[in-house]
Amino acid sequence: MADSMVDQALLETWNRRHAEAEDLGRVATVVEQNLHLVKPGVQALDLACGRGATALYMAAAGLDVTAWDLSPVAIQRLELAAAEQGLSIRTAVRDVIAAPPEPASFDLVLVSYFLERSLAPAIARALRPGGLLFYQTFSRAAVSDEGPRSEQYRLGDNELLDLFAMLKVRVYREERCLGDTSRGWRDLAMLVAERV
């Protein structure tokens, strides 16, 4: 009972944020910078896709995209944008914690700005052999106050590497507060890792 009340409150919060947002969000840098590592046509999942900016970007790049989110408002906005842009994306309103992806079901799984640590094994298993995980979210080490305040929703030092130690690292970036903090890619960590 208590759990479902919490979930309902979470859902309402996300629905409101997605309804109020002016745009579809930002394309994840980890995808913009590394999508050349996959061949066109591969099956990609955007897990907790939000309003779908990155799902749309991957579909426009020729990937076969599936996008899931808890929020029906987010999924509706993504579906509308996909129709306007003439793109085909398989969408679903889905609680990915209650219903994670099936084992060996995707060639690419993208997770951006969603951190549920208990899902890491299921996300890694969802990749087919040779498949790639693309992950990007906020780190605790940060130079701005962007992103969630709670440490629970921010990554510790090298944490993506630890969470996905079962995969082979292909790209990793986490600049923390080193050097000239007015430059670089700050407040975030990204990982591209392969299931071999």
Asked if 112 is part of the footprint of ligand SAM (rule: CB under 6 A), the reply reads yes
Q: Do 123 and 100 contact (CB within 8 A), yes or no?
A: yes
Please identify, using beta-carbon distances, which residue of 19 and 178 lies nearer to ligand SAM. Answer: 19
Asked if 25 is part of the footprint of ligand SAM (rule: CB under 6 A), the reply reads yes
Burial pattern 116-140, b for ≥16 Cβ within 10 A else e, equals: eeebbebbbebbeeebbbbbbbbbe
Q: Which of 75, 96, 141, 192 binds ligand SAM (CB under 6 A)?
A: 96
Asked if 71 is part of the footprint of ligand SAM (rule: CB under 6 A), the reply reads yes
Please identify, using beta-carbon distances, which residue of 17 and 181 lies nearer to ligand SAM. Answer: 17
Q: What is the CA radius of gyration of the chain?
A: 16
Please identify, using beta-carbon distances, which residue of 48 and 89 lies nearer to ligand SAM. Answer: 48
Asked if 194 is part of the footprint of ligand SAM (rule: CB under 6 A), the reply reads no
Asked if 113 is part of the footprint of ligand SAM (rule: CB under 6 A), the reply reads yes
Euclidean distance between CA atoms 141 and 166, whole angstroms: 24
Residue appearing with tokens 């994670």: 100
